[in-house]
Structure 1
Amino acid sequence: MTIGLQTIHDVPVLMCAREGDVIAEEGDALDLIGDAGYQGAAWVVVPVERFDERFFELSTRLAGDVIQKFAQYRVGLAVVGDISRHTAASSALTDFVRECNRNRQTWFVGDVDELRERLRG
């Protein structure tokens, strides 16, 4: 379920609601990418609650597969919310998040205000 399209600093962003289908496989990511393309969004914002727990366990490869699909279709992905319980349990995930946040494809941000700041610059 999406909330709708918003423009943040001239960037069209598809905002997903907290409620809705869980992203548990690549196909779920493709559905969001398709919706983003249909609505003309350059970025998709997905609350942390919408991801299957396996997304935060790098050994499952779900995060890598989902992020790769977004990169393949050149749609930005912003994972919004508190993931501290996941990063506290995994230094590999902490490193992964840090690396993602260095680029312009996938960001892990605490809230939409942080996303607004990142899209500004």
Structure 2
Amino acid sequence: MFKGLGALGGLGDMSKMMKAAQEMQTKMAELQESLATTVVIGESGAGLVKARATAKGEVTGLDIDPSILVPTEKEVLEDLILAAIKDAQGRAATRSADEMRRLTEALGLPADMKLPF
């Protein structure tokens, strides 16, 4: 009557898979929370402009050295701000990728496995 369901041992494997999937989901949620509160700093102009961002890439602040606030240098300042933001976002992406790689390795998955994130 239950021939199509396979051996009962297969149900144990399914249970292990479900438990592993739940564990991975929990760890990914924890990682998401951690990335949202981890701050990275990008900079340009030898530190004259700094951009703060979360490890998820959300820019949260700027710090501009007052010595470069010269009206005739407006374009230079704009370029430095953009460069600092791009640097912060690049550092955020690197941090996020490093944390994801650690998580996948801890779960016994291939390090280059792409998980939805």
State TM-score, norm by structure 2. 0.26
Higher relative helix content: 2
State TM-score, norm by structure 1. 0.25
**Structure (1 or 2) with the larger CA radius of gyration:** 2
Higher relative strand content: 1
